[in-house]
């Protein structure tokens, strides 16, 4: 009884923590999108009379060498990175779900082919493969989006495959087979609902990684064009002015990017512990 009470209390605390993190992530996301959407082009236009201003009440994040407001640029860059990261994570989750379910239901040949593909993608360093794909696709928004979509699915596909394999040997799936149900029917009615918790957790865990990798590729010059106020571009440009004492150009965008990534990563980790408590020790 004591162990049960401790387990229930721990689960309740974890659920409360997940709710608090989810509220923080939602507030951060809404604030970013509101600031980026309501400001329009104001704040990011060139105003040479306001250049190189340190943080103040009128410009909390300061201004850059062209007089552009860094608060507006930072939130517009975050909104851009969030959009690309969410699109890439969503498409990666769809690919991972399709691959995992196909490996579990289409027989040994399909399972071996999909497992072989997963092993190939996971054998190459993640960032190196992302840079290669983005370069081959011509860079820019299209190249980086394709790179994120093509490189973030294998680990989740392996998890979904293992879960689908376990469900495939359950009693109710065996009964459905004896009743003559097709593979597609079993996959859509039994396996897909069973792996949805892993799919949702995978989406929350892939999203911050996609945002971070988009910023990293853009920082290296293989992502979005300089005309876009992306976080990676802002950080890359700020490197030239740090020695001049303009520390705010890199500090505030970097902190905002870190806060966004860490908040959504913590939300995904907390949700994973709620769904599978044993994974908290992994």
Torsion over CA: 214, 217, 222, 224 (sign): positive
Distance CA 49, CA 150 (A): 45
Distance CA 169, CA 150 (A): 30
Q: Where are the domains of the chain?
A: 2-47+60-281
Q: How confident is the model at residue 112 (pLDDT cuts 50, 70, 90)?
A: very high
Residue-level pLDDT at 114: 92
Radius of gyration, CA atoms only, the chain: 23
- Residue 16: name the closest of 279, 273, 276 by CA: 273
Residue-level pLDDT at 116: 93
Tokens at 184, concatenated? 């597609």
Residue-level pLDDT at 169: 82
* Residues whose CB falls within 8 Å of the CB of residue 7, separated by 6 or more in sequence, listed in order: none
Residue-level pLDDT at 280: 41
Distance CA 173, CA 190 (A): 7
- 63 backbone dihedrals φ, ψ, rounded to 5°: -125, 165
Report DSSP letters for 140-168, one per residue.
Answer: HHHHHHHHHHHHSSHHHHHHHHHHHHHHH
Distances (CA, A) of 214 to 184, 220, 260, 262: 36, 10, 13, 15
List the alpha helices (DSSP H) in 106-245.
Answer: 108-123, 126-136, 140-151, 154-168, 171-178, 183-186, 192-219, 231-238
The pLDDT of residue 159 is above 80: yes
Distance CA 228, CA 187 (A): 43
**Fold observed for domain 2-47+60-281:** MetI-like fold (1.10.3720)
Residue-level pLDDT at 49: 83
- How confident is the model over 197-226, as pLDDT tens digits? 889 888 888 888 888 888 888 887 776 777
Paired residues of 63 in beta bridges: 69
* Residues whose CB falls within 8 Å of the CB of residue 25, separated by 6 or more in sequence, listed in order: 263, 264, 267
Tokens at 121, concatenated? 């993608």
Residue-level pLDDT at 77: 86
- How confident is the model over 3-54, as pLDDT tens digits? 555 555 666 777 787 788 778 888 888 888 787 777 666 656 778 788 888 8
* Residues whose CB falls within 8 Å of the CB of residue 256, separated by 6 or more in sequence, listed in order: 74, 75, 78, 231
Mean pLDDT of the chain: 82
């Amino acid at each position: 009884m004591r162990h049960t009470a401790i387990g229930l209390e721990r689960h309740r605390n974890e659920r409360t923590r997940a709710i608090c993190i989810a509220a923080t992530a939602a507030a951060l996301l809404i604030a970013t999108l509101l600031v980026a959407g309501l400001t329009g082009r104001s704040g990011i236009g060139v105003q040479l009379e306001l250049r190189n201003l340190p943080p103040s009440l009128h410009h909390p994040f300061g201004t850059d060498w062209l007089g552009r407001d860094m608060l507006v640029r930072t939130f517009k860059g975050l909104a851009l990175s969030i959009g690309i990261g969410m699109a890439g994570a969503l498409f990666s989750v769809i690919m991972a779900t399709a691959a995992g379910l196909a490996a579990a239901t289409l027989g040994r040949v399909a399972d071996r082919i999909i497992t072989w593909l997963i092993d190939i993608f996971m054998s190459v360093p993640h960032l190196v493969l992302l840079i290669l794909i983005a370069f081959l696709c011509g860079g820019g928004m299209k190249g980086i989006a394709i790179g994120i979509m093509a490189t973030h699915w294998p680990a989740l596909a392996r998890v979904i495959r293992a879960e689908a394999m376990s469900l495939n040997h359950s009693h109710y799936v065996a009964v459905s087979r004896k009743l003559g149900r097709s593979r597609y029917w079993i996959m859509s009615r039994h396996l897909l609902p069973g792996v949805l918790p892993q799919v949702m957790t995978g989406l929350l865990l892939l999203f911050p990684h996609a945002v971070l990798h988009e910023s990293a590729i853009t920082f290296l010059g293989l992502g979005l064009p300089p005309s876009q106020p992306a976080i990676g571009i802002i950080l890359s440009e700020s490197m030239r002015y740090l020695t001049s004492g303009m520390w705010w150009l890199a500090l505030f965008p970097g902190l905002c990017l870190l806060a966004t990534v860490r908040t959504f990563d913590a939300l995904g980790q907390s949700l994973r512990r709620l769904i599978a408590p044993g994974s908290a020790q992994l």
